[in-house]
Structure 1
Amino acid sequence: MLTNVECRSAEPKDKPYKIYAETGLYLLVNPNGSKLFRMKYMYDGKARTYSIGNYGTGENEITLAKARQERDEAKKLLKEGRDPTLVRRLNRIQTTTDQSTIFQEVTQAWLKKNSSGWTPKHSADVASSFRTDVFPAIGRLPLAEINSVMVMKLVLEPIEKRTNFETAHRTRQRMSAVFRYSAALGLVPREHDPAGRHLLEVMQPVPPKRPQPAITELEPLREMLRKAEEYPCHPTTKLATRFLALTAVRVATMSGARWEQFVGLDGPLPVWEIPAEQMKGETGHKLPFTVPLCRQAVEVIEAARRINGQFPWVFPNDIRPQKGPISNNTVIFHLYRVGYRGKHTAHGFRASFSTIMNERQSSMRHIIDFALAHVPKDEVEAAYNRARYLEDRRRLHQEYADLLLEGFPSAFELLDGPKR
């Protein structure tokens, strides 16, 4: 074991030589008389050297005890999967005083600029992803100092280790957007995008999505829905489940339904006018969508108004109804409790509607696609056809509702059923 006496008495020779301490630490003695503490370590399958400092007791020198302490701290970083040399470099960079080029500051400006075109939920999700996964690792670094190794090792690989591969890819895309925004402002060269698409070559691919489980035969579907409505739960959950089954909209679209979106409920042509931000799609390319309502869906809305009319949402959260809408998972977990985990999910109502109605109305396949908001990429054609097929879709939804709910109790009777 290396001692202070050995460190002090070590004399220079014609060539540099090392005096080893323990577990990687050694003293390098150079011909000019300088004595430097170093540590050997392996990272990412490669041998590396960690520079600790000059031996001595002066203001900018390192004692043997301090060298051992820094060696232990470096080993702790290695156990966490972090390169101690890179961590020290990052810590030094973070002392910069030029806030205009700090990644976190520029990202906040990018978020502010873009959030006006996003839904509140999407804005919150994007901001949260930066706060959780990006800012703690590289948020205080200047843009120009961030490279692809940092992005991959410090941000994306930790996300991949949680097996959140889709999250890792979304995070890369968002970081890349920040760097492109920075380049447009002249803060970095245009080619400086360390989170660019070249990282896809080393990132874990997103596993293919498995189809959502769905019951696609009418009688088993009716049996499942009957069980779901007889099972003890909050009336709002039962109404939301029936409404999903009737309209075949996406769960997130249903949860955001507000009273003012429903038009003509007391007339012959009731509709649900869904705003663009409530629809699925890329930001800036979403379109509003109109759902023609069958009479059973109108009944669900009126029943919901009886218990939820004082809240902004048709289907509010059953615990804090004044704070927000029903969770996207409420109907899913309700179906799980009924016994349909792995057999049918809330999103599966869309497949149920599509399969059953395509079998009955095969000539209307393209209209059924429109009923599911599967629209052409051309926005003009999409808007035109949505209006054009409105009454055809109304007939489809009514036929489906009559098949699905034949013999079922009215929506108002669901208000008085068994509760959890």
Structure 2
Amino acid sequence: MPKDLLTELKVRAAKPESRSYKLSDGGGLFLLVKPNGSKLWRWKYRIDGKENLYAIGPYPDVGLSDARTERDSARQLVKQGIHPSHDRQEIKRRNIETLEERKRAMESSFAKVSAAYLAEVKASYKPGSYRAKESRIRKYLAPKLAEIPISEIGVKEIRPVLEACKAHGAWAGIHVKGDLNAIFEYAIVRGLADANPIPTLRGLLKIPPSQSKAVLTAEQTRAFYRELRAYRGYPETALCLRLIALTACRPGEAADAEWNEFDFEEQVWRRPGEKMKAGRDHVCPLSDQAIQVIEDLRPITEGGRYLFPHRSGKGFTTPNRLSYAMRDMNLGPRTTPHCWRTTFSTWANEQGFRPDAIERQLAHVESNKVRATYNKAILLSQRREMMQAWADYLSAAEEAAVNTSESASKPTSKKIGARARRAG
């Protein structure tokens, strides 16, 4: 049978009539012209002796040349005993499956899964711990893994991320690895991933040997107050460091302290359990010197929620800002605001204060569970006496520092506070 009988001009010029009619192009291909003006390409073929009709598509969406190409492709399928319409349906089904798979992959991307994980565990973490976890995921993991389906993330993708964390310190990578492990466990339980690749990375990161916190010597304590007087950073940062020293609190506890936690009549600082590491309410007696620090702070920040707000106006200051300020004082290796806790504990024990009172002041949890069950005393009167004696000791150290022959401002003092200001 002759082929290619039609031309583009003939197809375009075909007019509708009262009844449908065909314009043959040969080889079984024809154009069906309907009374409503539509023009449809059809191809007639046989399989197993039975005549079948394959709908190629409408004109002009499918031009004459495309219709012939589709006819030739369909003929190859028929030679294999495949109906072209069945093949088209199979291709369509596969395309739909591909799209659905792609959609599922997007819904199970690391960004989606990690966000769902964070929402799931938020209530079980203290605010500070949760913010640290969320910050690590956003800072270290999201930039590299966000768009990848979690089921496709393996050692190849994770290793360079953890290696990069080493630049931020050994513990940064260890914490991030722990976050990843928790996210994968979350995904496996929900059928979003089949395996957790984290255990196979055992040994990639080494936990650094633990180092006890430094205890400040009497000379370092005097140096601290000399440098604090020469401090050129934000005044609230210097006041925060003073409050940490006077109360032996954790730096994070001072950083997120709120005005409504302070009772000035009773001279106590009451922190709710949800903000404490041990998960229980903590009452800290305030010495006269600690009260004075807060009074000095009033004209600076009293109008807000936090004693030490973040410079951006959102939330509270960061412990890093305090660490930078104290590190710039060059007091010695491993000296951070947290050192005041070990320094206070050492001093109080040397002075013969009751160990239970010291541990309660530090908000430590009793290791003996039986003893912890019965020992509910907060020993406030003993601790009030102890903290006033500690404050007097620090005041004497500051007075001695001022009276020494050393210059009140070292060359490095002008630089103190630059890093703290950058930390916010």
Q: Which TM-score band applies after superposition, normalised by the shorter structure?
A: 0.5 to 0.7
Partner of 1:272: 269
Partner of 2:59: none
Structure 1 position 360, deviation (Å): 0.8
Q: SS at the partner of 2:102?
A: coil
Change (3 A) 1:164 1:401: closer
Rounded Cα–Cα distance in structure 2 between residues aligned with 1:220 and 1:164: 26
Task: Determine if the alignment matches structure 1 residue 246 to structure 2 residue 254.
Answer: no
Instruction: Output the amino acid matched with 1:168.
Output: G
Partner of 1:145: 152
1:195 pairs, out of 189, 194, 198, with 198
* Residue deviations 1:89-130 (CA, integer Å, cap 9, x gap): xxx999833134333322211111222444555444333333
Partner of 1:64: none
* Residue deviations 1:268-316 (CA, integer Å, cap 9, x gap): xx221123343336xxxx3332212222212222221233211222123
Rounded Cα–Cα distance in structure 2 between residues aligned with 1:102 and 1:248: 44
Partner of 2:109: 102
Partner of 2:333: 342
Contact 1:151-1:194 at 8 Å conserved across structures: no
Partner of 1:204: 205
Partner of 1:306: 299
Change (3 A) 1:199 1:298: same
Structure 1 position 163, deviation (Å): 6.1
Normalised to the residue count of structure 1, the TM-score between the two structures is 0.62
Change (3 A) 1:96 1:247: same
Task: Determine if the alignment matches structure 1 residue 297 to structure 2 residue 304.
Answer: no
Task: Determine if the alignment matches structure 1 residue 359 to structure 2 residue 350.
Answer: yes
Rounded Cα–Cα distance in structure 1 between residues aligned with 2:305 and 2:205: 42
Instruction: Output the amino acid matched with 1:351.
Output: T
Instruction: Output the amino acid matched with 2:299.
Output: R
Change (3 A) 1:199 1:408: closer
Partner of 1:158: 164
Partner of 1:182: 187
Contact 1:225-1:242 at 8 Å conserved across structures: no
Give the 4+ runs in structure 1 shifted more than 6 A: 92-95, 378-381, 417-420
Counting aligned pairs with the same residue, the percent is 28
Structure 1 position 349, deviation (Å): 1.2
Contact 1:248-1:353 at 8 Å conserved across structures: yes
Rounded Cα–Cα distance in structure 1 between residues aligned with 2:244 and 2:237: 11
Rounded Cα–Cα distance in structure 2 between residues aligned with 1:327 and 1:169: 21
Rounded Cα–Cα distance in structure 1 between residues aligned with 2:305 and 2:271: 15
Structure 1, unpaired ranges of 5+: 1-91, 410-416
Q: SS at the partner of 1:97?
A: helix
Rounded Cα–Cα distance in structure 1 between residues aligned with 2:123 and 2:241: 32
Contact 1:216-1:355 at 8 Å conserved across structures: no
Aligned-residue Cα RMSD (Å) equals 3.5
* Residue deviations 1:341-379 (CA, integer Å, cap 9, x gap): 5374322111211111111116x2343122212213688
Contact 1:165-1:206 at 8 Å conserved across structures: yes
Structure with greater Cα Rg: 2
Structure 1 position 174, deviation (Å): 1.3
2:378 pairs, out of 376, 388, 394, with 388
Contact 1:228-1:334 at 8 Å conserved across structures: no
Contact 1:215-1:343 at 8 Å conserved across structures: no
Partner of 2:225: 225
2:316 pairs, out of 322, 325, 328, with 325
Change (3 A) 1:252 1:380: farther
Change (3 A) 1:357 1:163: same
Instruction: Output the amino acid matched with 1:183.
Output: I
Contact 2:127-2:275 at 8 Å conserved across structures: no
Q: SS at the partner of 2:365?
A: coil
Structure 2, unpaired ranges of 5+: 1-97, 400-407, 415-424
* Residue deviations 1:306-330 (CA, integer Å, cap 9, x gap): 332112221234x55x434334244
Contact 2:220-2:331 at 8 Å conserved across structures: no
Rounded Cα–Cα distance in structure 2 between residues aligned with 1:372 and 1:94: 56
Change (3 A) 1:355 1:93: farther
Structure 1 position 207, deviation (Å): 1.3
Change (3 A) 1:334 1:135: closer
Structure 1 position 144, deviation (Å): 3.4
How many residue pairs are counted as aligned between the two chains?
305
Q: SS at the partner of 1:175?
A: helix
Alignment of structure 1 residues 28-107 onto 2, 5 Å: 96-98=102-104, 99-107=106-114
Contact 1:239-1:304 at 8 Å conserved across structures: yes
Q: SS at the partner of 1:313?
A: coil
Rounded Cα–Cα distance in structure 2 between residues aligned with 1:93 and 1:203: 37
Rounded Cα–Cα distance in structure 2 between residues aligned with 1:397 and 1:302: 18
Rounded Cα–Cα distance in structure 1 between residues aligned with 2:314 and 2:143: 30
Structure 1 position 384, deviation (Å): 6.4
Change (3 A) 1:158 1:93: farther
